[in-house]
Amino acid sequence: MPTLDDALGAIEGSRDLDGLHAAFNALLSRLGFASFSYIDIRELRAGDGLPFYQTSVRADFARTYEDEGFILHDPVFARAASTNTPFLWTDLPDFAATARGTKPRRVLEAAYDHGYTQGYVLPVHALDAAGRPASSLISMYWTDRPDELAAGTPRWLRLAALAYHERALALRGVRDGLTPPPPLTGRERDCLLWACRGKTIAETAIILNISDRTAKFHVENAMQKLGVHTKPHAIAMAVHLGLIAP
């Protein structure tokens, strides 16, 4: 069984975001979790489109979550933004069986469909280097025996989550002394890349097998994150920052 010292050593020894995520994922797997997600809910609350996140969930679930726009309906974020107390997915009224057919309930059903039987969420509230509030959550996923695993979750995991959050903030702020480029999602980069290659929204939607509305949503999110007001400007900025390669 890993200890707090193991967790802090893995976190503090990480030199980049990918290494941080991989190290923490390996640690959580030793505690019985199948995967986890780290999400910056500060950006989500600010209305800046999709927030910065890292995840080790199944790729098909991640695509479904993004393509269906579940981030707009997932009640986990509102709860995490307003509490310091860890909670299970099934603690949320929006996920109750009586809520069947609602958009929040569809989020939970999609998780079930992809093999995730329960989730344990750690809200994290801290300050960034500029002294501004910086909140996130770490959502950990089980694929079996959730009740037994929940009972054995160590208390030090909350401290480890805070250390992870602070390390992630530090790593995101280090890029040759400059502000790091905005964290575009894979779909946002894909949509900008095809736009860069001369494709319309409708053509991009066909190529990526998504709806026109979803393709437009991703382009507009990318524009907002890049701080521009036109699609050509977004393409130019993304190429300049190395986010896409034409």
Q: Are residues 30 and 70 in the same domain?
A: yes
What's residue 123's pLDDT? Answer: 93
CB under 8 Å to 241, separation ≥6 — which residues? 181, 226
Q: Are residues 164 and 230 in the same domain?
A: no
CATH number of the domain to which 55 belongs:
3.30.450.80
Count the Cβ atoms, other than its own, within 10 Å of residue 30: 10
What's residue 145's pLDDT? Answer: 66
Residue 129 is assigned to a structural domain of this protein: yes
Residue 246 is assigned to a structural domain of this protein: no
Which residues form the domain of 194?
186-240
Residue 137 is assigned to a structural domain of this protein: yes
Residue 28 is assigned to a structural domain of this protein: yes
Q: Are residues 165 and 49 in the same domain?
A: yes
Q: Are residues 150 and 198 in the same domain?
A: no
What's residue 176's pLDDT? Answer: 35
Q: Are residues 116 and 193 in the same domain?
A: no
Q: Are residues 205 and 133 in the same domain?
A: no
pLDDT tens, position by position, for the chain (246 residues)? 788 888 888 898 898 999 999 999 999 998 889 999 999 887 665 455 678 889 999 999 999 998 888 888 899 998 998 888 899 998 999 887 777 778 889 999 999 999 998 999 999 988 766 666 788 999 999 887 655 556 667 888 888 998 999 889 888 873 333 455 668 899 999 999 999 888 999 999 999 999 999 999 999 999 888 777 778 878 877 887 778 886
Residue 179 is assigned to a structural domain of this protein: no
Q: Are residues 110 and 206 in the same domain?
A: no
Residue 180 is assigned to a structural domain of this protein: no
Q: Are residues 19 and 114 in the same domain?
A: yes
Q: How many domains does the chain have?
A: 2
What's residue 243's pLDDT? Answer: 85
Strands 35-39 and 133-142: antiparallel
pTM of this structure: 0.68
What's residue 146's pLDDT? Answer: 56
Q: Are residues 155 and 230 in the same domain?
A: no
What's residue 79's pLDDT? Answer: 92
Q: Are residues 202 and 168 in the same domain?
A: no
